[in-house]
Amino acid sequence: MAPASRLFGGIEAGGTKFICAVGEAPQTIHASTSIPTTTPSATLAQVIAFFQPYPLCSLGLAAFGPIDLARESPTYGHILSTPKLAWQGCQIVDILQTQLGVPVAVDTDVNAAALAEFMYGAGQGCDPLVYLTIGTGIGGGAVIRGRPLHGLMHPEMGHMLLARAPGDTRPSGCPFHEDCLEGLASGHAIGVRFGAPETLPPQHEAWTLEATYLGQALATIATILSPQRIVMGGGVMHQPHLLPRIREACARTLHGYLPRLKTASDFEAYIVAPALGDTAGVIGALYLAHEIGCL
Amino acid sequence: MAPASRLFGGIEAGGTKFICAVGEAPQTIHASTSIPTTTPSATLAQVIAFFQPYPLCSLGLAAFGPIDLARESPTYGHILSTPKLAWQGCQIVDILQTQLGVPVAVDTDVNAAALAEFMYGAGQGCDPLVYLTIGTGIGGGAVIRGRPLHGLMHPEMGHMLLARAPGDTRPSGCPFHEDCLEGLASGHAIGVRFGAPETLPPQHEAWTLEATYLGQALATIATILSPQRIVMGGGVMHQPHLLPRIREACARTLHGYLPRLKTASDFEAYIVAPALGDTAGVIGALYLAHEIGCL
């Protein structure tokens, strides 16, 4: 018989579903499943049941935040204060490590997606790289000098402040901030402010505002972090008319100030769709596992 | 006689003056001078005359931006489009290298200041570290994984978008942007909008707005870059009442969202004055020279 394969597990833990995958390498996925995000006990029981049959070397977890990534912290690997109240304080890394008996590497979903796009996707050779996901919520991650960005915690780009467009007095979708990116431009916010995004035609004013706010956010990211490229993922970005309008709005906000971002083709190369589609998170998770290797 | 010392040169090239220093180590300065910033030919002639008597190993240049820091670029080390029109296109690195016959390392003034505060000052052990200077203009630099942040170019934090405070209809001080940090909160902007900063008493509304805008900017930097600490330098920060008010405004903007920034003492540790005072830029420049060493 052939020797057992070196197998790695990856989880993208999102607010709606947990995507779990098993593979020999980050881009070689043998089996995968999607498990609804309900309570920690129910969801994690199914996650563990999925992985248990496989002789894993290690597991990578790409989780929604905020999550404690500081190894020296007593709450390392715990979910911190989150609107998903059932998950607040969940010791997700400890649980997976104990139940599956393998080392677990953890990062945010968007840092993992940034890493995957940097290694295999639309961000190859672009360092720093920023990955922004516009879904139910908004999150941003970054790779700098080849590694995901950690600091005081991890980026929380969804909660950067924006300038409201004149006349936009609709409520924010964020319970914390009247004028943050997530509160004005997430899928949830569009729903609260205008109606379900998938029902709104391209000419709806919601999309004009969406492009304006995302363009503002990208301009601010460009001035602060100076990424070489920004990858825009998430369900809201499935609207095909949106990406060109975001590039235009970003150019309007920057107003020619940055010497490397002047022409339409500069912006086409700068603000791009993911190459890994919606799989960047779980590929990033497998990459984190692969880095641990087989002990 | 003792052998000749290993001497390094450092220049902080600012919009008002060039500070030049010679030292054996970044913090051991033997001689220094300040030369007014006029035209490239006049200013650089005096700079070169200052350094010429010293047997330098190398020179570090901490320059106002935008400046091209991409080594592979045909305009490497040139000043790019800047409101200081006489300096636009100035091949400052080439000129210094040729005239002084030593290798020159270059970075932005604020990246160099961030490096100096990270190595010797208020940012020791804090990675990433952000250094923001609030002077005539506003600039921001960062150290990440021990090195100054470069990407598409370098950070241009002065031009991040802010949300205008309700009722603030005064003009922007930035020719590019109606609502950017530099346009609303630089020393020049305060002057245009309210009068010379040093003449305004602490209770003047200009300072309330100043704290609001700087607090907004720091909140946005915290969400995007997640620095472990932010150092606030520059002439405007000499107002002793300002730092506590900025911390409060930053806390109001974040509104308790970031788990590591909740209490007043969290913000006191997070947003700090420079330890190197106004010498961070030139010490950073000497550090850049010291890294080249003696060839």
Which chain A positions have a beta carbon within 8 Å of B158's beta carbon?
223
Best of A118, A144, A270 to mutate (most B CBs within 10 Å, chain B): A144
Residue B5 has pLDDT above 60, yes or no: yes
Which chain B positions have a beta carbon within 8 Å of A66's beta carbon?
258-259
pLDDT at residue number B155: 97
Contact B163/A at CB under 8 A: yes
Residue B3 has pLDDT above 60, yes or no: no
Residue B137 has pLDDT above 80, yes or no: yes
Average pLDDT of the segment spanning A75-94? 91
Contact A257/B at CB under 8 A: yes
Residue A189 has pLDDT above 60, yes or no: yes
Q: Which residue has the tokens 């020791």?
A: B124
Q: How do beta strands A229-233 and B17-25 pair?
A: unpaired
Task: List, edge to edge, every strand of the sheet that includes B7-13.
Answer: B28-36, B17-25, B7-13, B56-63, B104-108
Interface of A with B in 97-136 (CB under 8 A): 127-128
Residue B57 has pLDDT above 90, yes or no: yes
Q: How far is B28 from chain A (nearest CA, A)?
A: 31
Residue B2 has pLDDT above 60, yes or no: no
Residue A81 has pLDDT above 70, yes or no: yes
Over chain B, what is the mean pLDDT? 95
Q: pLDDT confidence of A4, banded at 50, 70, 90?
A: low
Over chain A, what is the mean pLDDT? 95
Best of B223, B228, B258 to mutate (most A CBs within 10 Å, chain A): B223
pLDDT at residue number B85: 86
CA dist A121 → A260, B28, B204 (Å)? 22, 47, 52
> What pTM did the predictor assign?
0.96
Contacts by B249-255, CB closer than 8 A, 24 or more apart: B249/B211, B249/B212, B249/B214, B249/B215, B249/B216, B250/B214, B250/B215, B250/B216, B250/B218, B250/B219, B250/B222, B251/B215, B252/B215, B253/A161, B253/A177, B253/B215, B253/B216, B253/B219, B254/A159, B254/B219, B254/B222, B254/B223, B255/A176, B255/A177
Q: Do A145 and B140 touch (CB under 8 A)?
A: no
pLDDT at residue number B1: 39
Residue A243 has pLDDT above 60, yes or no: yes
Task: Give yes or no for a contact between A81 and A253, defined as CB atoms under 8 angstroms apart.
Answer: no
pLDDT at residue number B278: 87
Task: Give yes or no for a contact between B59 and B99, defined as CB atoms under 8 angstroms apart.
Answer: no
Residue B77 has pLDDT above 50, yes or no: yes
Q: How do beta strands B129-134 and B138-144 pair?
A: antiparallel
Q: Do A152 and B223 touch (CB under 8 A)?
A: no
